[in-house]
């Protein structure tokens, strides 16, 4: 029981940290770079992807025993496209300004490789609950990644966060950060930071491991 | 690893016509059934989402248009949508109609609290630096001038081209931009045009933003083209719009 519980928890946290889609797997870069110009856009895109991911993985997992393998990709795409359409309507209903800001990238969630990847690699082999938990973890990880980029770019490039001005009138916005090159700069900086963290962890863990594992 | 076939020895050469069963293949029926079922479920979900959000989406679109009109005509309290037809007629557009017949120009008549005409708003498009710049402008019949602009959509460079919505000096161009018609009402008396910053001498010119000349010109062209198409048809019929119908 304890191990099962641990496994479920692990399933959930995998996407948030160890296999973070943005910073570890570097997947779905197209929307990541394109919509992360502001914290609100990035977070909305992350939440939209999270919703599509959880719903489609749940449905794929429910249908997993009856989908013949020859048509599985077609079935997954239809299911994913369905939830993307639903999200598309929902965002239009919530805010047209947000809908315009996200542009074609909402529809393009259909071809986001994280979602099809999760459906194929995980949801089609696991019961609904673990599949949805894993998908939720991945979605949250994706949203965190997007938000990390969006917040930094908005603060540097516009001097605001969630539209609230952070600095005095003397602040000169670093405009390039909200332009496409800025996306690459900030993503590169975050990747550097995470690989530095990883190396430091390895260095710290190394000496005791060596001592313990001497044969 | 597949199972080793032990019947090799007994194979008769003539029996090649009936091949051995390929690796387990799903029956076509099952595939069609699954695809049909999945499509049916997905269809239901989409219809549900569409129906569930329809009212909210329509209300949002209406609010967005109203907000854009109210921004350029601050006195307005309600709006009505009209089409200026090629022959010179004015046609009221009912709620829910979105298709615009070719050659017609869409505009909004804005009314104040007492139901009197507060101004006319129309959209215009000009080619900007990155993409089309769509603007909404307010027209005041009393002075025959443009009294305000707002941006409907644009993809201009942040911090440079998008100054057209924040730059106070630029927006000051649109407190009384002259769009008078010629005496015979056939066309604008003067072309609305963006000129180099600081060289504005006439009321129909727009002082461009330094460094954002292309975007400024796009705004000028958007107003000019739209006014050129709309005003000759609209001005002779203005009295029919004077009060809210």
* Residues of chain A contacting B132 with CB distance shorter than 8 Å: none
Over 90: is that where the pLDDT of A81 sits? yes
Contact check, Cβ <8 Å, B57/A92: yes
Q: Are B78 and B111 in contact (CB under 8 A)?
A: yes
Residue B52: inside a domain: no
Over 60: is that where the pLDDT of B9 sits? no
Q: Which of A68, A82, A90 sits opposite B31 (nearest CB)?
A: A68
The DSSP symbol for B5 reads P
Degrees to nearest 5, angle at CA B159 with B154 and B160:
75
Tens-digit pLDDT profile for residues A143-187: 999 999 999 999 998 888 888 888 877 888 888 888 889 999 999
Contact check, Cβ <8 Å, B34/A71: yes
Q: How far apart are CA A135 and CA A83, in angstroms?
A: 14
Q: Are B57 and A82 in contact (CB under 8 A)?
A: no
Helix (H, G, I), strand (E, B) or coil at B234: helix
Residue B166: inside a domain: yes
DSSP B38-78: HHHHHHHHHHHHHHHHHHHHHHHHHHHHHHHHHHHSTT--E
Domain of B231, in residue numbers: 64-241
Helix (H) and strand (E) counts for chain B? 3, 9
Tens-digit pLDDT profile for residues B158-197: 778 888 888 888 888 888 888 888 888 888 888 888 888 8
Q: Are B138 and B73 in contact (CB under 8 A)?
A: yes
Mean pLDDT value across chain A: 87
Over 50: is that where the pLDDT of A206 sits? yes
What ipTM score was computed for the predicted complex, to two decimals? 0.77
Helix (H, G, I), strand (E, B) or coil at B112: coil
Contact check, Cβ <8 Å, A75/B41: no
* Residues of chain B contacting A37 with CB distance shorter than 8 Å: 158
The DSSP symbol for B242 reads S
Q: In total, how many domains does chain B have?
A: 1
Q: Band the pLDDT of B116: cuts 50, 70, 90.
A: confident
Residue B15: inside a domain: no
Residue B38: inside a domain: no
Provide the pLDDT for residue A103: 77
Q: How far apart are CA A39 and CA A44, in angstroms?
A: 8
Q: Which of A59, A70, A89 sits opposite B49 (nearest CB)?
A: A89
> By C-alpha distance, which of B104, B101, B96 is closest to B122?
B104
Mean pLDDT value across chain B: 82
Over 90: is that where the pLDDT of A19 sits? no
Q: Are A99 and B60 in contact (CB under 8 A)?
A: no
Token digits for A79? 């299911």
* Residues of chain A contacting B38 with CB distance shorter than 8 Å: 63, 67, 75, 78-79
Q: Nearest CA of chain B to the CA of A129: how many Å?
A: 20
Q: Which of A59, A81, A175 sits opposite B158 (nearest CB)?
A: A175
Residue B199: in which H helix or E strand, if any? none
Residue B112: inside a domain: yes
Residue B139: inside a domain: yes
Residue B2: inside a domain: no
User: Using H for helix, E for strand and C for coil, what is the string for chain A?
Assistant: CHHHHHHHHHHHHHHHHHCCCCCCCCCCHHHHHHHCCCHHHHHHHHHHHHHHHHHHHHHHHHCCCCCCHHHHHHHHHHHHHHHHHHHHHHHHHHCHHHHHHHHHHCHHHHHCHHHHHHHHHCHHHCCHHHHHHHHHHHHHHHHHHHHHHHHHHHHHHHCEECCEECCCCCCCCCHHHHCHHHHHHHHHHHHHHHHHHHHHHHHHHHHHHHHHCCC
CA distances from B153 to A190, B73, B77, B124, B194 (A): 32, 18, 23, 11, 19
Provide the pLDDT for residue A79: 94
* Residues of chain A contacting B159 with CB distance shorter than 8 Å: 173, 175, 178
Tens-digit pLDDT profile for residues B52-95: 999 998 888 888 888 888 888 888 888 888 888 877 777 777 66
Residue B16: inside a domain: no
Token digits for B44? 């239901």
Report the side by side order of strands in the sheet with B78-84: B90-92, B78-84, B105-111, B117-127, B132-140, B145-153, B177-178
Contact check, Cβ <8 Å, B42/A81: yes
- State how beta strands B105-111 and B117-127 pair: antiparallel
More confident residue, B108 or B26: B108
* Residues of chain A contacting B62 with CB distance shorter than 8 Å: none
Residues 6+ apart with CB under 8 A from A18: A24
Q: Tokens 């239901």 correspond to what residue?
A: B44
Contact check, Cβ <8 Å, A95/B60: yes
Residues 6+ apart with CB under 8 A from A184: A33
- Sign of dihedral through CA atoms A92, A36, B150, B118? positive
Q: How far apart are CA A168 and CA A157, in angstroms?
A: 14
Q: How far apart are CA B192 and CA B92, in angstroms?
A: 28
């Amino acid at each position: 029981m304890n191990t099962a519980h641990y496994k479920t928890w692990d399933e959930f946290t995998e996407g948030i940290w160890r296999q973070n889609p943005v910073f570890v797997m570097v997947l779905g870069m197209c929307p990541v770079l394109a919509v992360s110009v502001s914290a609100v856009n990035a977070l909305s895109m992350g939440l939209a992807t999270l919703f599509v991911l959880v719903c489609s993985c749940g449905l794929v997992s429910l249908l997993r025993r009856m989908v013949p393998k020859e048509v599985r990709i077609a079935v997954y795409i239809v299911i994913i496209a369905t939830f993307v359409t639903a999200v598309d309507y929902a965002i239009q209903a919530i805010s047209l300004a947000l809908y315009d800001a996200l542009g074609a990238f909402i529809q393009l969630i259909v071809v986001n490789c994280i979602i099809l990847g999760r459906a194929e690699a995980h949801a089609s082999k696991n019961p609904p609950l673990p599949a949805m938990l894993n998908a939720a973890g991945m979605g949250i990880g994706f949203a965190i990644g997007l938000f990390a980029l969006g917040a930094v770019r908005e603060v540097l490039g516009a001097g605001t966060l969630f539209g609230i001005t952070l600095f005095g009138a003397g602040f000169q916005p670093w405009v390039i950060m909200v332009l496409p090159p800025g996306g690459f700069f900030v993503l590169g900086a975050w990747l550097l930071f995470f690989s530095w963290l990883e190396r430091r962890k390895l260095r710290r863990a190394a000496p005791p491991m060596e001592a313990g594992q001497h044969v | 690893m597949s199972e080793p076939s032990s019947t090799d020895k007994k194979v008769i050469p003539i029996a090649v016509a009936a091949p051995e069963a390929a690796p387990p293949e799903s029956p076509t029926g099952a595939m069609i059934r699954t695809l049909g079922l999945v499509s049916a479920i997905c269809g239901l979900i989409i219809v549900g989402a569409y129906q569930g959000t329809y009212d909210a989406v329509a209300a949002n679109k209406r609010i967005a248009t109203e907000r854009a009109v109210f921004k350029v005509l601050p006195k307005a309290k309600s709006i009505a949508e009209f089409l200026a037809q090629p022959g010179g007629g004015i046609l009221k557009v009912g709620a829910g109609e979105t298709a615009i017949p070719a050659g017609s120009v869409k505009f909004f008549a804005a009314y104040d609290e007492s139901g009197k005409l507060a101004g006319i708003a129309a959209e215009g498009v000009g080619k900007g630096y990155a993409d089309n710049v769509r603007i909404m402008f307010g027209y005041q019949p009393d002075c025959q001038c443009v009294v305000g602009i707002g941006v409907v959509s644009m993809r201009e460079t942040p911090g440079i081209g998008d100054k057209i919505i924040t730059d106070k000096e630029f927006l000051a161009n649109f407190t009384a931009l002259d769009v008078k018609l010629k005496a015979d009402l056939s066309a604008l008396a003067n072309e609305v045009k963006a000129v180099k910053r600081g060289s504005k001498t006439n009321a129909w010119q727009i002082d461009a933003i330094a460094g954002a000349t292309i975007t400024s010109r796009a705004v000028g062209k958007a107003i000019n083209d739209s006014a050129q198409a709309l005003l000759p048809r609209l001005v002779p019929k203005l009295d029919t719009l004077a009060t809210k119908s």
